[in-house]
Amino acid sequence: MYPISRHSQRLHLRELRPDDVEDMFAIYGDPRATEHMSFDPRTRQDVEGIVARSIASARPQTPARSTPWPSPTPETGG
């Protein structure tokens, strides 16, 4: 189910939104915040791409085959 959202008294989790770029950049772009992470500080443009890709990959994918398998018929041996 998209979008995913979970809530409790102390925590609210939700999918990323395009307006989250500034908040993500505040962390990903800060050398102090990324000092012990596996990547160097990111630019705002980097973070825009990260957020966009995360949003795109979280959306439900359309199945490659949307029609059911054909039913057997006397002609096909079914």
CA distance 47 to 4: 21
The answer to whether residue 30 sits within a structural domain is yes
Higher pLDDT, 35 or 71: 35
pLDDT tens digits, one per residue of 9-59: 999 998 899 999 999 999 999 999 999 999 999 999 999 999 999 999 887
Instruction: Give the per-residue pLDDT at 17.
Output: 93
The answer to whether residue 68 sits within a structural domain is no
Instruction: Give the per-residue pLDDT at 67.
Output: 52
The answer to whether residue 29 sits within a structural domain is yes
φ and ψ of 72, to 5 deg? -65, 145
Q: Which domain holds residue 29?
A: 15-60
Instruction: Give the per-residue pLDDT at 4.
Output: 76
Alpha carbon 29 to chain centroid distance? 20
The answer to whether residue 66 sits within a structural domain is no
The answer to whether residue 77 sits within a structural domain is no
The answer to whether residue 73 sits within a structural domain is no
Please give the tally of structural domains in the chain: 1
The answer to whether residue 28 sits within a structural domain is yes
- Residue 14 contacts residue 27 (beta carbons within 8 Å): no
Q: What is the helix (H) or strand (E) element at residue 14, kind and residue range? A: strand 12-14
pTM of the predicted model over 0.85: no
Residue 76: pLDDT band with limits 50, 70, 90: low
The answer to whether residue 46 sits within a structural domain is yes
Alpha carbon 18 to chain centroid distance? 11
Alpha carbon 50 to chain centroid distance? 9
